[in-house]
Structure 1
């Protein structure tokens, strides 16, 4: 009976994993609404969850897990969370309401299924305010003051991003606002019992996680005393507690010193005020794929396009990856000149039939068009928003370029300075009067400080951003880590195969270099956070940098009894840095979206990245075991030891992943009024959790007690991590996508 119950229970969880994976594919092909309607919200899918939960509870009782209190509490916490989700689905109310300032109180709202529901009170919008980041027009927060009319009582409350207003179990979340800033749209939820059950489950789960590591009857504690580990215990407990060639011709440029002074100017770029050096670096990287060209600095390249357009338009500096676009432009190789974009009949990319090209070819053409337009903006000066002007009626200055239409109220002297200063610089450049250029640049900087006084970034932030631009060498660092990692991996594998004695000097040298790399990454991440004013965890580039740092930290926790961790640390650090550069080459430092300005998001990202790092270590450990198995005949003891180490690491990895998912759910509930939305990233994170959780049941699933089965599982299971992060971010889309 128990065996049959076990088979049915685990089979149901396997079916749920397959259905959820299929649903994400269906959502990509036919739209997320189709997946939600016909899969996630279907009675069959909900019934499967209920059946799997009930059978799991029955199996727990049959196994008499009540004697292992922490393990029992762990499973009961998950059941409580699922019960809360079912309660929300059956009785929770979700919808939206639109309010206008000065309008009569509203007593109804529209539910998500298109029906109308009544409030037991009236609600009106007293005031709406859009707050901006200092000196910019990038929204920092949306703030609405609400009036609640309940009988003869009128109450006032505030709703903003990450700040919920609650009255009589109805929760109002700031969702959107009208273009005239006189109205606001709110997400509305009423789910007192479902949220209470779910949050209780989250707390119970966290307590169960903590208790599990100290439960003397847990399998984790038995693994800690495994004879193959000897004195590895302290190390792991510490871990758990720590959370192309130069061309013959050289185009003319400004001298490096003079171009560097241009980089010291303020510029309004990407919805924030930053050094012009940042714009120059991102301009060059966007164009060429790298921040330098022919040993020129980014400032020399950007100003070269403005001051020496005729010469620079012949430079093969525009990266074109797509073969079809290369053929259209008539270039051989990956790089095109600006002159290649046109012929005697006009612009080449306008001469093709768009009806006959694929979506992929269209994206490649659009990318080439974007680079052409970017150069055009640099050449005509519209890219250089260097000139702030604050009208008497405006709260903050607006930044203009020399080609922008200037306000009528601007004094003639300022109008002339904005219109002609860049042209005067071009004239001085033509005559090589570099001292005069330096003087004009300094006058521009003085003008900026005077006109935008009180709205500029602090001097410390400005200097920090310049330092960040100058010390960001992520690409060569990635290649260095990968090279050292692979060489050291071969070295340590050779030691395992041939049973050579230890080489402490080499290990100490590798650890020292890795420590320096870790310090460098920590400084880089800290600078980026200081510049942006928020923890740098808001996009793919930043989270990959964080994962690189996590892999280094984990290496120092694991290396004493597991020397391969050193090479694993290098390989993981290199791969994640390389992915950061490939996924989003030198992404801009941006102001944080209001909904992302929550400490819960930072905790969520750190926890998830730590989990992914641990799972990557386990995967590399499995690959090592496979190499040993096929190269030696007397390696059984070492393979078992690698299995025990991986199994020990798997517990904190899975628990961190679960914790990260549920912290993300709380953040989503605070921000949008729902803690689960079947977004592809959420679904695949849950799939990954369930996949790896199966390996935590070695007594119920005895195959996981077999060393090679376990190692192959860790290698194959890591595909779910790759899909969760890369597949969703760059292919499937969704609101979690970084693409």
Structure 2
């Protein structure tokens, strides 16, 4: 009885901690980072809560005699080592900043916690500072401080930049900011003599024990792989859906198509990189009209015609206005507006409307949340329309199109790379795939459900065998088609496509299709599950268009840690998504015991690599953060929600201490509800809470 009480208390503390972490992210959004740092993350009661959980974990390891299960003991022990390293950082570490000015020697830094001056055991001075730009653009690729430091009477020179730190006698300096005139540089300072080493040791132990858990013949994962239900096989589907855009030319002067085609491969500076003129023109037309072409005209024809015939094109209703209220404000009779509709003589109507809306937002702030939200929404729509008008005005002034400089300072792209980018835009890979995957996924789901209820017999088996190869072939074609487009984007951009939300969604969809191809022989339900999930993922990427342009990475993302960190996280998200959909299927076929058991087994097996990939991905991100920002854990909302997700799914392993997880129905409901934490981590943080990781949006 006493032992059961201890266990219940520990579980309650565990759940309470997850709740506190979740609430803290919303409090930070409402009251600011300083508030939650002072009252929650750096508070004694918060540290005490972690300490109580650590004590309970040590006690549980002893009671369960985990020394007989060394991989499990190592895994839990690594978590304790990581917590111990975090506590050492909290107790012995110091954080601060130092301002370097050229020609001045600095021997101290300002501690962040109390703004007190702390002495350094050496001298530091700034020789020069420079911003490195992508060739021919104004987009920074790196920030570099050329510094000198004096140790034991000798001066040494070093370069501090993004993802490249300076470490001297335990003090670590990171590039933080700089003076606008480049005369000075701000460096973050981190002194953590014990915590980093202990925490990194915990990370290594976690990675080692994770692989040990997956490979040990005595552990649960290996026993699940040897389950008799794996010997059964399955099948299912796919195909491709055609689409066509039909348009008619309008009676307005345009550049001849053959003349416009000559502009397609011209190279320009666009989005801070070298790109073909076709990419600039295509984005211009999409931004204005919402489609990659305009009434049968090519993007090159549209842009060139705006330049050649501005008097005619300013009357062309090309600006898409989605908001009905905004159309009413402007007196528009259709969904599209012309440039002249935005002017009243020489008065710019949007400027006057925007000023009125900003006053309305201030006035409705105290009236009610709904009125304020509606005013803000309309204000955002006015700004979007203003951006479209600004692009046209920039085009007419000659500032929108930037040709390559003639001095040879920018290396032009090869003709092959130009043709590859034009081909990438010509084939709507994402649109084709999301339409095909969703359509065929629904058909496959119906086929799988029908095959479950179909009576066993020679006729049924022949029917399944006849269709099996058609579905498998279609899934492989979809996977090949998707990864061809992904690798093509990689080749065009010159980097792995994981730098923004749009690209991570593409990677997630590709991994889901790859998993479907690999495991479809054992599990027929994976075919509809993989197709539907990849289809919905691609639909989100297509509709939201988070950041579809192929742009250079911001300096902090120019790190070898990027692909490893993001890949592991997205792999875990894909596995969690598969588990969620399989759980939905399992709850929907309660009468078919054999199929439900296979779904349960599949989810329990996937739980291991999903949680382990998430955990390793989180801690690789922590190492990257330490290299880039000077701290391996900053309680950023994205970090906190990733930790919540890791802790939440980790509960499902403890079927002995939490018997409810032995119940298949409870287990599947848990997986469905827990997936909301994934959605919050990926979408909620980017679009609601913000933080350092919101650049991915």
Deviates more, 1:362-371 or 1:139-148: 139-148
Conserved in 2, the CA contact under 8 Å of 1:70 and 1:208? yes
Partner of 1:217: helix, strand, or coil? coil
Q: Which residue of 1 aligns with 2:380?
A: 363
1:82 CA displacement? 1.1
Structure 1 distance, partners of 2:149, 2:546, is: 49
1:583 aligns with 2:544: yes
1:692 aligns with 2:649: yes
Structure 2 distance, partners of 1:113, 1:367, is: 43
Partner of 2:548: helix, strand, or coil? coil
Q: Which residue of 1 aligns with 2:595?
A: 638
**Structure 1: gaps spanning 5 or more residues:** 233-243, 389-449
Structure 1 distance, partners of 2:145, 2:610, is: 41
1:618 aligns with 2:579: yes
Deviates more, 1:579-588 or 1:642-651: 579-588
Structure 1 distance, partners of 2:257, 2:440, is: 34
Structure 2 distance, partners of 1:669, 1:6, is: 35
Conserved in 2, the CA contact under 8 Å of 1:263 and 1:276? yes
> In the TM superposition, what whole-angstrom CA distance separates every residue of 1:579-620 from its partner, at most 9, and x where no partner exists?
112232662211112211111111001111111000110011
After TM superposition, list the pairs within 5 Å mapping 1:48-59 onto structure 2: 48-59=49-60
Q: Which residue of 1 aligns with 2:622?
A: 665
Structure 2 distance, partners of 1:248, 1:588, is: 27
Name the TM-score, length of structure 2 as normaliser.
0.91
1:310 CA displacement? 3.6
1:66 CA displacement? 1.5
Q: Which residue of 1 aligns with 2:424?
A: 468
Change in CA separation of 1:370 and 1:84 when aligned onto 2, cut-off 3 Å: same
Structure 1 distance, partners of 2:432, 2:280, is: 21
Conserved in 2, the CA contact under 8 Å of 1:223 and 1:648? yes
> In the TM superposition, what whole-angstrom CA distance separates every residue of 1:702-738 from its partner, at most 9, and x where no partner exists?
1111111111111111111111101112222112113
1:344 CA displacement? 5.5
Structure 2 distance, partners of 1:679, 1:121, is: 32
After TM superposition, list the pairs within 5 Å mapping 1:229-248 onto structure 2: 229-230=230-231, 246=247
Conserved in 2, the CA contact under 8 Å of 1:285 and 1:585? no
Q: Which residue of 1 aligns with 2:436?
A: 480
1:26 aligns with 2:27: yes
Partner of 1:645: helix, strand, or coil? helix
Conserved in 2, the CA contact under 8 Å of 1:5 and 1:59? no
Q: Which residue of 1 aligns with 2:274?
A: 273
1:248 CA displacement? 8.0
Conserved in 2, the CA contact under 8 Å of 1:134 and 1:456? no
Identify the structure with bigger relative contact order (alpha carbons < 8 Å, sequence gap 6+): 2
1:327 CA displacement? 1.6
Change in CA separation of 1:97 and 1:35 when aligned onto 2, cut-off 3 Å: same
After TM superposition, list the pairs within 5 Å mapping 1:149-188 onto structure 2: 149-188=150-189
1:167 CA displacement? 0.8
2:669 aligned to 704, 707, 712, which one? 712
Structure 1 distance, partners of 2:641, 2:168, is: 35
Conserved in 1, the CA contact under 8 Å of 2:172 and 2:191? yes
2:562 aligned to 577, 593, 601, which one? 601
Partner of 2:598: helix, strand, or coil? helix
1:492 aligned to 448, 459, 483, which one? 448
Conserved in 1, the CA contact under 8 Å of 2:318 and 2:336? yes
Counting matched residue pairs gives 664
Deviates more, 1:667-676 or 1:519-528: 519-528
Deviates more, 1:703-712 or 1:216-225: 216-225
Structure 2 distance, partners of 1:600, 1:114, is: 32
Structure 2 distance, partners of 1:173, 1:27, is: 25
Q: Which residue of 1 aligns with 2:228?
A: 227
Q: Which residue of 1 aligns with 2:62?
A: 61
Conserved in 1, the CA contact under 8 Å of 2:97 and 2:109? no
Q: Which residue of 2 aligns with 1:386?
A: 403
**Structure 2: gaps spanning 5 or more residues:** 234-244, 362-374
Change in CA separation of 1:351 and 1:121 when aligned onto 2, cut-off 3 Å: closer
1:531 aligns with 2:532: no
1:253 CA displacement? 2.6
Change in CA separation of 1:41 and 1:360 when aligned onto 2, cut-off 3 Å: farther
1:251 CA displacement? 3.7
Change in CA separation of 1:489 and 1:146 when aligned onto 2, cut-off 3 Å: same
Structure 1 distance, partners of 2:682, 2:395, is: 35
Conserved in 1, the CA contact under 8 Å of 2:475 and 2:517? no
Structure 1 distance, partners of 2:618, 2:351, is: 47
Structure 1 distance, partners of 2:596, 2:52, is: 38
Q: Which residue of 1 aligns with 2:238?
A: none
Q: In angstroms, what is the RMSD of aligned CA positions? A: 2.2
Conserved in 1, the CA contact under 8 Å of 2:404 and 2:410? no
Structure 1 distance, partners of 2:532, 2:526, is: 10
Deviates more, 1:585-594 or 1:88-97: 585-594
Partner of 1:97: helix, strand, or coil? strand
Structure 2 distance, partners of 1:687, 1:333, is: 47
1:345 CA displacement? 8.2
Q: Which residue of 2 aligns with 1:304?
A: 305
Q: Which residue of 1 aligns with 2:206?
A: 205
Q: Which residue of 1 aligns with 2:467?
A: 506
Structure 1 distance, partners of 2:541, 2:633, is: 28
Partner of 1:503: helix, strand, or coil? helix
Conserved in 1, the CA contact under 8 Å of 2:174 and 2:628? yes
Name the TM-score, length of structure 1 as normaliser.
0.86
2:588 aligned to 627, 632, 648, which one? 627
Structure 2 distance, partners of 1:586, 1:142, is: 24
> In the TM superposition, what whole-angstrom CA distance separates every residue of 1:109-129 from its partner, at most 9, and x where no partner exists?
443542221111111112333
Conserved in 1, the CA contact under 8 Å of 2:442 and 2:532? yes
Q: Which residue of 1 aligns with 2:117?
A: 116
Change in CA separation of 1:578 and 1:646 when aligned onto 2, cut-off 3 Å: same
Change in CA separation of 1:256 and 1:576 when aligned onto 2, cut-off 3 Å: farther
Change in CA separation of 1:122 and 1:340 when aligned onto 2, cut-off 3 Å: same
Conserved in 1, the CA contact under 8 Å of 2:270 and 2:280? yes
Q: Which residue of 2 aligns with 1:413?
A: none
1:663 CA displacement? 0.6
Structure 2 distance, partners of 1:532, 1:481, is: 26
